[in-house]
């Protein structure tokens, strides 16, 4: 099965792509419109530089090459929501070309990423159609992937991570999942179908799954897949045929003379881009010799946690940084996240005391937790002592566990289970697991 996606990301600019109409939702239809985005004769487009900047940032995020000079094209077709009868888009010189994205070890090629304007939208009403041009001229980046995705679940996973990364680089609204629209190309055999305009990641997975099953059934019964564009019906959760698929040759492209050529290299040189989480994970591996899994785990928890790791690694060395970041700091990350910047030096000081031998493992762990959560150290100590006693009691009630544990670490699970049952959520399960292991390790020593 081969899946390729065309992802339309709506860019968070103040104004539309080629005019000064606001690029935010309007109260009613046809409110944010002007002769420019209505395509009236005599108007000329003026390029929104903010959209170009964002395009460059996204191209970099996707490891695309950026051309020295780019221009826009008119994609000519007739449809009522496109009142100019052409859409201004990019054809020969997309802002990003031939990139790649890694989903774990899986490489997904990026064919291109180009800037374009959205057309208006249509709504069926009674026996006619209503057109709303509020959306006409909204700035988009369309990201086109190679057909490298091998399942509907992988498509959803890819989009989840991609969205997270995009949100790290640009200010996508928090309901960003709905502000992207995806055209899904899928082929089970040799011919592909395209499911147009799917919004929401869950729907992408559902539409693709439906298509995969539909195509497989046709092929199994000796039928032939017809190349066509389909729609996804969110209510009925099915795809339906819309029209025969257009080929690129069905569209006419000509250069857009009103915008001229843009020296995008010069603009790109001036734009600083935040490091993407993916390249950050790769850099941590290289710079600090982290295992790939550890680096990704830290970065995927939060880029801020990874920054804290770097701070720790510089002050206390990689081993200590890894031990404490992936231990007590990760497990209390939710409490720490918003104060991470102000508390980082205090946390480092505690670990330095551990390195100097002033406090032991357990004390360091407790001090870190107390500092992060603001919990009282004495009640924490009492809690820990109580838990300690409970676990020892459980072991005393089932002493053969100690010998079994010597041969197989899993033998400790029965004690963990007993204590969890008895304490009914009074202690975090990670504390019970850690303390049980610690005590059993001591006993077999």
Q: What is the C-alpha separation between 215 and 65, in angstroms, rounded?
A: 35
Closer to Zn ion at the Cβ: 19 or 336? 19
Q: What's the closest the beta carbon of residue 127 comes to Zn ion, in angstroms?
A: 30
Q: What's the closest the beta carbon of residue 43 comes to Zn ion, in angstroms?
A: 9
Q: What's the closest the beta carbon of residue 45 comes to Zn ion, in angstroms?
A: 10
Closer to Zn ion at the Cβ: 72 or 405? 72
Interface region with Zn ion, contact rule CB under 5 A, candidates 16-24, 163-171, 352-360, 389-397? 16-24
Residues 19-78 that bind Zn ion (CB under 5 A): 19, 21, 34, 36-37
Interface region with Zn ion, contact rule CB under 5 A, candidates 15-23, 271-279, 392-400, 423-431? 15-23
> Nearest to residue 256, comparing CAs of 73, 82, 90, 75?
73
Helix extents (H) in 317-428: 318-324, 330-331, 333-336, 340-355, 361-373, 377-396, 400-407, 413-423
Closer to Zn ion at the Cβ: 58 or 138? 138
Q: What's the closest the beta carbon of residue 16 comes to Zn ion, in angstroms?
A: 5
The size of the chain, in residues, is 445
Closer to Zn ion at the Cβ: 21 or 141? 21
Closer to Zn ion at the Cβ: 43 or 331? 43
**Residue 420: CB atoms within 10 Å:** 16
Closer to Zn ion at the Cβ: 89 or 111? 89
Q: What is the C-alpha separation between 65 and 101, in angstroms, rounded?
A: 13
Interface region with Zn ion, contact rule CB under 5 A, candidates 14-22, 84-92, 245-253, 341-349? 14-22
What single DSSP character describes residue 325? I
Burial 238-258 (b: 16+ CB within 10 A, else e): ebeeeeebeeeeebeeeebee
| Total site size for Zn ion, rule CB under 5 A | 5
What are phi and psi for residue 238, nearest 5 degrees?
-135, 160
Q: What's the closest the beta carbon of residue 134 comes to Zn ion, in angstroms?
A: 10
Q: What's the closest the beta carbon of residue 20 comes to Zn ion, in angstroms?
A: 7
- Is residue 97 within a helix (H) or strand (E), and if so which, with residue range? strand 96-103
Interface with Zn ion by CB under 5 A: which residues? Answer: 19, 21, 34, 36-37
């Amino acid at each position: 099965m081969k899946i390729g996606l065309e992802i339309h990301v709506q860019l968070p600019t103040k104004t539309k792509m080629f005019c000064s109409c606001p690029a935010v939702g309007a109260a009613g239809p046809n409110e944010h419109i002007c002769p420019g985005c209505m395509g009236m004769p005599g108007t000329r487009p003026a390029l929104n530089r903010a959209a170009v900047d964002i395009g460059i940032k996204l191209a970099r995020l996707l490891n695309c090459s950026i051309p020295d000079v780019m221009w826009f094209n008119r994609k000519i077709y007739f449809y009522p929501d496109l009142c100019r009868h052409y859409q201004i888009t990019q054809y020969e010189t997309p802002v990003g070309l031939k990139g790649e994205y890694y989903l774990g070890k899986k490489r997904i090629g990026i064919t291109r990423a180009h800037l374009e304007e959205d057309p208006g939208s249509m709504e069926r009403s009674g026996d006619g159609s209503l057109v709303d041009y509020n959306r006409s001229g909204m700035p988009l980046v369309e990201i086109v992937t190679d057909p490298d995705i091998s399942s509907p679940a992988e498509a959803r996973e890819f989009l989840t991570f991609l969205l997270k990364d995009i949100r790290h680089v640009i200010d996508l609204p928090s309901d960003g999942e709905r502000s992207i629209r995806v055209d899904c190309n899928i082929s089970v055999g040799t011919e592909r179908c395209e499911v147009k305009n799917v919004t929401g990641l869950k729907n992408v997975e559902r539409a693709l799954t439906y298509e995969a099953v539909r195509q497989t059934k046709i092929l199994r019964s000796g039928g032939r897949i017809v190349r066509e564009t389909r729609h996804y019906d969110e209510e009925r959760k099915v795809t339906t045929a819309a029209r025969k698929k257009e080929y690129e040759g069905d569209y006419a492209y000509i250069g857009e003379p009103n915008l001229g050529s843009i020296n995008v290299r010069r603009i790109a040189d001036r734009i600083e881009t935040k490091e993407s989480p993916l390249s950050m994970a790769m850099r941590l591996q290289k710079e600090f010799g982290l295992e790939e899994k550890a680096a990704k785990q830290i970065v995927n928890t939060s880029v801020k946690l990874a920054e804290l790791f770097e701070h720790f690694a510089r002050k206390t060395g990689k081993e200590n940084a890894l031990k404490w970041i992936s231990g007590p700091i990760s497990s209390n990350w939710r409490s720490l996240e918003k104060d991470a910047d102000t508390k980082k030096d205090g946390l480092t000081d505690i670990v330095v005391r551990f390195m100097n031998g002033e406090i032991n493992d357990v004390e360091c762990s407790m001090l870190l937790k107390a500092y992060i959560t603001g919990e009282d150290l004495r009640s924490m100590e009492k809690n820990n002592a109580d838990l300690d006693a409970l676990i020892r009691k459980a072991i005393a009630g089932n002493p053969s566990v100690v010998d079994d544990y010597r041969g197989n670490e899993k033998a400790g699970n029965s004690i963990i289970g007993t204590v969890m049952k008895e304490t009914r959520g009074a202690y975090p399960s990670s504390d019970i697991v850690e303390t049980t292991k610690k005590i059993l390790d001591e006993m077999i020593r």
